[in-house]
Structure 1
Amino acid sequence: MSERQILRLSVGELVAFSCRTGDLIADTPSGPTALEGIRAHQKLQKKRPPGSEAEYRLEVEYPFLGETIVLSGRVDIVHPQSDLHRPAQLDEIKTTYCHPEQLADSVRELHWAQLKIYGFCYLLQRQEGTGAAPDRADCLRLQMQWYNLKQKKSHPELREFAWPELEDFAHKALRSYLEWHRAWQQQRNSVRTSAHALEFPFPNFRPGQRELAISAYRCLRDGGELVAEAPTGIGKTVSTLFPAIKALGENHLDQLVYLTAKNSGRQVVRETATRLHEQGLKLSLLEIQAKDKTCACRLGLCSPDADGICPRTRGFFDRLPEARQQLLGQPLLTPEKVAAVADALQLCPFELSLQMLPWVDLVVCDFNYVFDPLVRLNSLQSDQQRRALLVDEAHNLGDRARGMYSAQLSRRGSRQAAKDCRGYPALKRAINALVRALDQWVDERPRDERFHPGPADAAAEAWLTPMDTKTTSDANHGPDAVITAAHKIMAVVSQMWEQSQSPPEEIGEWLNGLYRFLTIVGLLNDQHRCLTRRENRDAPWQEQQLKLMCISAADFLQQCFRQFHGVILFSATLRPAPYIQRQLGVAAEAPYLSLPSPFASNQLGVFLCPYLDTRYRARESAADALVELIARVYHSRPGNYLVFFPSYRFLQQVAERFAAQHPAIDLIQQTAGASEQERAAFLDRFSDNRRSLGFAIMGGIFGEGIDYVGEQLVGCILAGVGLPQVSEEQELLRQAAATGGDKVFSNGFDIAYRYPGLTRVLQAAGRVIRTETDRGVVILADARFADPFYRPLFPQHWQLQHCANGEVLSTALGNFWDTQK
């Protein structure tokens, strides 16, 4: 029988799909860690009697319902049959923080299901070579060993099973899986057939589009990584998604994962998939939305019961099969589509979407579901399938990943969490112990470790502490007491969860932050720094923060890339290439593709105005000059314009003066912490028939990822070079780059400030021209843009015009707009 006709299945996969019933138990991060589980297993395995085997390998080939199934797994301990009166015994070890009787019934049953399938495989494997099935009289002893980490005590439970009972149990599980697998395989075959026949959805390729599609296909066919800088308007989504689907149709891939940094990116993927569906593609797309926007309880659609449990999690796995059946093969599993099925069957919509992950062809989600060590999806990490990873807006990935691998504890947040634990004395004591440990850590910081990133702040102090990345047991090299206190809190919380008790809802977010802190402690490497900050030292409300900061996530990103068959990272702004490759952790030999703009150079006018100085110390005097420049640009051709500022303070300063001097111009401002409704209202002002002037923040929501087509935007003004604000974090990046021994990038200021600022500038400028018929202007309003550093980094299609003063600018703008007439 050929390899393709054999269904290879691990015992864990079979049990998770076919044997899980009852309630959806909260998958909290507070249970025993993998390291604790490994240590407990090793401890019990060392105590096994002579003749027993640890990590016993099982693999059996079993014909069933016309299929050949290869089941595999590994048993913790096997005690071979020692005499005719004592059958062989299999032991399975599970770690817990409580007595096994306090575990939920569904959890205990799932553990036993795994052990029973192991028993089925063991008796089959024992008959290998004989050609005969196990005898009905064959028996096997199965023992669950629940090891209580808190008590450091094992609680064994021993049962004896005959072959017919194990066979019946395994057959029921296999039948359930095979019925589903056949339906899924039929859907997959239709996807491959339709993908193989699919044609490019547009009559012609734009300039550069074919080159990107060919490079993407080769990368996904052969494996490896590709970095592609594709200018705005080239059609990056379809140019990467189409070749990925073709690779899927030709059986080079099993699943596609498309990552976006913003909601607008997911919308483009949906629209592209819909266009391909109209051409006959049968592909199934699943969009994963953030839990706080999907959870029925958080949306007010249901309420926890008297025990604090969401009713949609009660009996979740009993109703799941019907929901899976309804969703299988649906072309667009949007959050709304999944929610409709979830509502009908009273299931948690977010958890239902996660359950569909292995059974769809294209997963669209945020960066964190692949890269964040806390929330990444295990279904996307397994090596059972050949997956392609498409990372859109990849210029955001470096900063985002640094945040994912950093963690912070604050005194204020911890004290508030303790206050919120009324009625939970053990938890409250544990949190207060953490506050005391944090106080002690800060009080012991030596003065010679104080860190001064910029102008002295009399109300704040900062310390930089070297971290021993191999161990944190030495108090001189890490906040050992703080880490120990944090572990004790999580032990208390774990015990509560295992006893079906929930910690106060008010501290849920704080607990997630605490778990992130402990997770990062376990991942520390030489790219981490320990930053301690204290504000208002002599005040009773003094604030203290302890931050484990990642200054480069490149190694972590590379580890994630290795789990995929092919990886494509693309954006309109990925320059310079060596800097980007270093930030994103791609292999040194990975190809870098830089494509030209698909639009004519005369569609965009780029005007450099070096007579303005928007640096921080000059902003008071620059405000009036900027008001005058904005008015000139607007009046040169009234329409929709965006002005991008480096800070809200500068934005407000210029806005007040502009409104006073030009009240007739429709002015709208971006506000800090704006809701989705407020953001939508801002964008609504930029319609084809409006003449709106928008003030926004460089690098913010309105500066990238949004298509302003045609008359929706005719120009943007960039007030400054977009440098991030000076902070301890940015200074750590600068120092690390300056002292890292990198011959290519020895200038830390470029790494920490100028390159990130340039990305913001280019992203904002890229909003202006989106189609072949668009025309508009970009104004670079700062003398620093004339610096030799920037010129080689500007896009090749930019034809810069220097404007020495406002009069020259007005003339140049007039000439540009006149050529359109």
Structure 2
Amino acid sequence: MGNTVSESPAELQAQTALDNTLSLSVGELVAFACRSGDLVGELSGGPSAQEGIRAHQRLQKKRPAGSQAEYRLQETVEQDGHTVVLRGRVDILHPQPDLHRAAQLDEIKTTYVPPHKLAESARDLHWAQLKIYGFCYGLQQQFSADTPLALQMLWHNLKEKKTYPESREFRWHELETFARTALSTYLQWHRRWQAHRQAVRASARTLPFPFAEYRAGQRTLAVAAYRCLRDGGELLVEAPTGIGKTISTLFPAIKAVGETTLDQLVYLTAKNSGRQVVRETAARLHAGGLTLSVLELQARDKTCSCNLGLCSRDDAGICPRTRGFFDRLPEARRALLGRPLLTPEVIAEEADRLQLCPFALSLQMLPWADLVVCDFNYVFDPLVQMQGLRDTRLQRALLIDEAHNLSDRARAMFSAKLSRADSRRAAAACKGSHPALQRAIQSLVRALDSWVEQRRESGQQAAPPGKPEKIEKIDEKENGKTTELWITALTDGAPHKVSAAVHKVLLVVSQLWEQSQAPPEAIADWLRALFRYQTVEQLAAEHHRCITRAQHLPNRDSRWREQEIELLCLSAADYLQQAYALFHSVIAFSATLRPPSHVVRQLGLQAEAPYLALPSPFAAEQLGLFVCPFVDTRYRARQRASDTLVDMIARTYHSRPGNYLVFFPSYRFLQQVAECFAAQYPEIPLVQQASGSSDPQRSAFLDNFQSGRRSLGFAIMGGVFGEGVDYVGEQLVGTIVVGVGLPQVNEEQELLRAACEQRGENGFDAAYRYPGLTRVLQTAGRVIRSESDRGVVILADNRFADPFYRALYPQHWHPQTCNNGHALSAALDHFWNG
């Protein structure tokens, strides 16, 4: 389907079947039809909702007698063949006091700067809202065309605690002309959108399954998914690799769009490869006649034109593509509506044509896409959550792919760090250009210093015995560096002076944004971290801990060279549950969701949510699974294990030369074994995953694993090569998993362990063994990806023979134990040649 820019006779005819009654808030109308000028405001680009509410309440209490606060308006307007119900609330209504004076409507807007310093586009938008309120009030009171109405903006500067009134008087016909122009703009778009939606629903109803037949387990998954999408609720699905999770969830979801009241689908995936699979699946469905519009969101740093070097900021630090953004947006919106695939490339092409910010343009298209494909953070992260999802009048479905990653990702979203060194660098970057911001950041550095001194003093005091939130102090010495660590519950004492200093910094930043100015680009990442700190602190609850670290480096001028405060989230289940409530139905699926009771708790799903475990679609003889308990990979035994592993890897490779991957628990262990292997088998080509590798380096690594090659790769378990990559056919014929994948022992994991034990769980299992098992299962799942694949998985660790792990193996695994290298060689020979 091409661009839906004009209304064809077929579209006009289709519109006659549509319901022409539209309920619309004044805010929605103004935001869509009256916005113009620059795209301004990032991070905390203005007062918070709580600050605004408090200011409104104070000013409303001061209103004169006879006036009314929160005056409700709801009027029906006939416009362009539609019946529109406009609704809203005026902050203060002053009824007409006598025949010589007009009635007056007041609108309160909170700012951090005097109104004359606000961006003109922001002032115009505020006045537009008040003028449409005036139009509605005139309808309600049956004004004649020349009836006057006084409108007053009350700009309340929170910093000065001062109100700046600005009054204008309009004749009602002026307000009517303004409001009907805005309505006409909105309704023209509404007709296009409704015509597109009708076409989508019609094509979804008749859409055939895009393959000749279902794989084993696919129909079961599709039926369960459809029922959940139709009836609402939650569904947890463990679907083994190769079952076709994407088509088995997307196809019933699209059918539900055509056959139920479902309005929009949101598909979440943690990996770029997952988005690519959705794109390919959507293209296949489009070829079958589907007209669904798919919007694929990409991270800001990979989309922003300034980051990509396609434009540069002006002298005020503003990107030129944000200047006049809303003046050019309508044309881009019309051009993109109804496009089948709104990929980052398609968005960028339209953004280049009209010189718009591509990332902002993609966000503007969110309400006008039928299927949104994006990362977890667009739904769950409090900093980047799509605000449009809070409109619960629409029915949306949430599909969560690779759900095993969600718990850790969500805990990171609700955690934050603030360091002294980064703050000092931010202050230095503001020197000369932004003196007020520099002073605010320097105050933050002093507040961090003061907090650490308080911790050092309080750390000497005895805490009540047995109290789980007691203060802990740990000294660590490494290369002459001393680290002191304090862990407290926020209820025992939050760093309030640090919080006040953070608020002061973000207040200065907000003042800059409100004046269409920008802080230095060099501190953009630091500001995002600062805003996350403020947001997390406001949301923090009993499952958060405050970790304070101080490092002392000898022979330096400053006694404390580095200080850091971390707000650590130990469980994000409650936050996830709040996000699920915005959706009609939620389906979470992955190849590794074990054990179900633990996964349900971690993901914040309802305890009664159905759990569906599907069998593998592949034959058991396609996978040779060999447990080798004669290897001890625990840290203290790794030096002795190296020679054993080198022999095991060589035996596996020589049993059937091809492409193999060996996954290690750490880079240090990987390098240790790699050195030994290269020394003993220099003839076997060996490639290694590099720490912190870039996208080109990752691509170069994967290029070694093509059909017809014989590459041996060493990689990190749980890393980019162990999840979300399809090694089909001869691209990978075997994987060796070294160790059980336990996370590294540190204070965060130990706190997580303790928190789980307080909830009645086995802390070691929840914090270490279950996450490790997920890594193992994901890694092992890389080998068999299609009906024609055949390969081997070697589990190299004596713990794999433990009953704990045996009980959690997938049903389609049939492990064979090999107690020494000779037994492994015999078993491999039998698998490949028997």
Q: TM-score range by the shorter chain?
A: over 0.9
Q: What's the counterpart of residue 293 of structure 2?
A: 284
Q: Contact 2:293 / 2:341 at 8 angstroms: preserved in 1?
A: yes
Asked whether 1:708 is paired with 2:730, we answer no
Match of 2:392 among 377, 383, 388: 383
State how far apart, in whole Å, the 2-side matches of 1:316 and 1:15 are: 16
1:185 maps to 2:194: yes
| Cα separation, 1, equivalents of 2:683 and 2:617 | 37
Q: 1:274 aligns with which of 272, 283, 305?
A: 283
Question: What's the offset of the Cα at 1:207?
Answer: 1.0
| Distance in 2 of aligned mates of 1:137 and 1:2 | 38
Preserved CA contact (<8 Å) 1:59 1:72: yes
* Alpha-carbon offset, residue 126 of structure 1: 3.0
Change (3 A) 1:6 1:251: farther
Q: Could you tell me which residue of structure 1 aligns to residue 322 of structure 2?
A: 313
Match status 1:621 vs 2:640 = yes
Secondary structure of residue in 2 paired with 1:789: helix
Tell me whether 1:570 sits opposite 2:579 in the alignment.
Answer: no
Question: One-letter code of the match for 1:550?
Answer: C
* Cα distance change on mapping 1:614 and 1:334 into 2, 3 Å: same
Q: CA deviation at 1:380?
A: 2.6
Instruction: Give me the whole-angstrom Cα distance separating, in 1, the residues matched to 2:553 and 2:687.
Output: 40
Residue in 2 aligned with 1:152? 161
- Of 541, 546, 554, 1:530 maps to 546
Take 2:552 and 2:544, find their aligned partners in 1: how far apart are those partners? 26
Letter in 2 for 1:552: S
Q: Which amino acid aligns with 2:208?
A: E
Instruction: Name the structure 2 match of 1:558.
Output: 577
- Aligned match for 2:666, one of 647, 669, 687: 647
Secondary structure, counterpart of 1:535 in structure 2? strand
Q: In the aligned structure 2, how far is the partner of 1:454 from the partner of 1:576?
A: 37
Deviations 1:262-306 (A, max 9, x none): 100000000000000000000010111111111111111111123
| Residue matched to 2:88 | 73
Offset, 1:425: 2.1
Task: Supply the distance in 2 between the matched residues of 1:716 and 1:76 (Cα, whole angstroms).
Answer: 66
Q: Would you say 1:663 and 2:682 are equivalent positions?
A: yes
Q: CA deviation at 1:455?
A: 8.3
When the two structures are aligned, how many residues end up with a matched partner? 802
The unaligned stretches of length 5 or more in structure 2 are 1-15, 463-469
Are positions 1:608 and 2:616 aligned together?
no
Q: TM-score, normalised on structure 2?
A: 0.94
> Contact between 2:381 and 2:410, CA under 8 Å: does it hold in 1?
yes
The yes-or-no answer on 1:519 pairing with 2:548 is: no
Q: Shift of the alpha carbon at 1:408?
A: 0.8
Distance 1:4 1:555 in 2: 39
Aligned residue for 1:333? 342
**Contact 1:453–1:727 at 8 Å: present in 2 too?**
no
Contact 1:294/1:349 (<8 A) preserved? yes
For 1:459 and 1:638, locate their aligned partners in 2 and report how far apart those are by CA, in whole Å.
50
Q: Partner of 1:473 in structure 2? A: none
**Residue of structure 2 equivalent to 1:693:** 712
For the residues of structure 1 that align with 2:228 and 2:417, how far apart are their CA atoms? 38
Conserved? CA contact 1:453–1:726, under 8 Å = no
- Secondary structure class of the residue paired with 1:488: helix
Q: 1:362 to 1:658 in 2, by over 3 A?
A: same
Match of 1:489 in 2: 505
Please state whether the residue corresponding to 2:539 is helix, strand or coil.
Answer: coil
What CA distance in whole angstroms lies between the structure 2 residues aligned with 1:459 and 1:412? 16
- Using a 3 Å threshold, how does the CA distance of structure 1 residues 453 and 443 change in structure 2: closer, same or farther? closer
- Tell whether the 8 Å contact from 1:601 to 1:798 is kept in structure 2 after alignment: yes
Displacement, 1:40? 0.7
- Secondary structure, counterpart of 2:504 in structure 1: helix
State the SS of the aligned residue for 2:565. Answer: strand
- Native 8 Å contact 2:43 2:531 kept in 1: no
Displacement of 1:524 in angstroms is 1.1
- Is structure 2 residue 449 aligned with structure 1 residue 426? no
Cα distance between partner residues in 1 of 2:450 and 2:277: 51
For 2:8, the equivalent position in structure 1 comes to none
- In the alignment, is residue 465 of structure 1 matched against residue 491 of structure 2? no
Q: Does 1:353 align with 2:362?
A: yes
Matching of residue 637 in structure 1 with residue 637 in structure 2: no
Match of 2:378 in 1: 369
SS in 2 for 1:790: helix
Report SS of the residue matched to 2:105: strand
What CA deviation, in whole Å up to 9, does each residue of 1:505-546 have, x standing for no partner?
Answer: 111111111111111111011111111112226553622110
> 1:437-496 deviations in whole A, cap 9, x for unaligned?
11111122123555478988672221111212xxxxxxx611011101111111111122
Deviations 1:716-773 (A, max 9, x none): 1110000110111111101111122x2xx2x211111111100000000000011111
SS at match of 1:644: strand
Instruction: State the SS of the aligned residue for 1:522.
Output: helix
Q: Distance in 1 between matches of 2:474 and 2:266?
A: 40
Partner of 2:5: none
**Rounded Cα–Cα distance in structure 1 between residues aligned with 2:242 and 2:72:** 54
Name the counterpart of 2:467.
none
Question: For 1:455 and 1:299, how far apart are their aligned partners in 2?
Answer: 42
Kept after mapping to 1: 8 A contact 2:475/2:485? no
CA contact (8 A) 2:151 2:167 kept: yes
Say which SS state the counterpart of residue 213 (structure 1) adopts: helix
Root mean square deviation of aligned Cα: 1.6
Q: Does the CA-based 8 Å contact 2:304-2:357 persist in structure 1?
A: yes
* Other structure's SS at 2:329 match: helix
The answer as to whether partners of 2:72 and 2:88 remain within 8 angstroms in 1 is yes
Cα distance in structure 1, aligned partners of 2:553 and 2:757: 31
Counterpart Cα distance in 2 of 1:38 and 1:639 = 66
Distance in 1, matches of 2:170 and 2:526, equals 46
Quick one: structure 1 residues 687 and 463, their matched pair in 2 at CA, closer, same or farther if it must change by over 3 Å?
A: same
Question: Does residue 407 of the first structure (1) align with residue 416 of the second (2)?
Answer: yes
Amino acid at match of 1:53: Q
The residue identity in structure 2 corresponding to 1:772 is E
> Does 1:499 find its partner at 2:515?
yes
Map of 2:466 onto structure 1: none
Deviations 1:3-27 (A, max 9, x none): 9431111111111111011111133
Matches of 2:809 and 2:299, distance apart in 1: 35
Q: Deviations over 1:683-720 (max 9, x none)?
A: 11110111111111111000011111011111111100
TM-superposed CA distance for 1:2, in Å, is 11
In 1, Cα distance between equivalents of 2:140 and 2:614: 57
Is the partner of 2:127 in helix, strand or coil? helix
After the TM superposition, which of the residue ranges 26-35 and 701-710 deviates more from structure 2? Answer: 26-35
Amino acid at match of 1:487: H
The alignment partner of 1:755 has SS state of helix
On the 8 A contact 2:234/2:585 being kept in 1, the answer is yes
TM-score by length of 1: 0.96
Query: 2:475–2:483: 8 Å Cα contact kept in structure 1?
Result: no
Contact 2:476 2:483 in 1 (8 A): no
CA contact (8 A) 2:235 2:611 kept: yes
Identify the range of structure 1 (70-79 vs 774-783) with the bigger mean alpha-carbon deviation.
70-79
SS of match in other structure, 2:310: coil
Q: Is the 8 A contact 1:225 1:568 kept in 2?
A: yes
CA contact (8 A) 1:213 1:239 kept: yes
> Deviations for 1:144-189, whole angstroms, at most 9, x for unmatched residues?
1111000000111111111100100011101111111111111111
SS at match of 1:459: strand
Higher mean alpha-carbon deviation, 421-430 vs 230-239, is at 421-430
What is the CA–CA distance in structure 2 between the aligned matches of 1:373 and 1:578, rounded to whole Å? 27
Which of the numbers 254, 258, 262 marks the counterpart of 2:263? 254
CA contact 1:453–1:731 (8 Å) conserved in 2? no
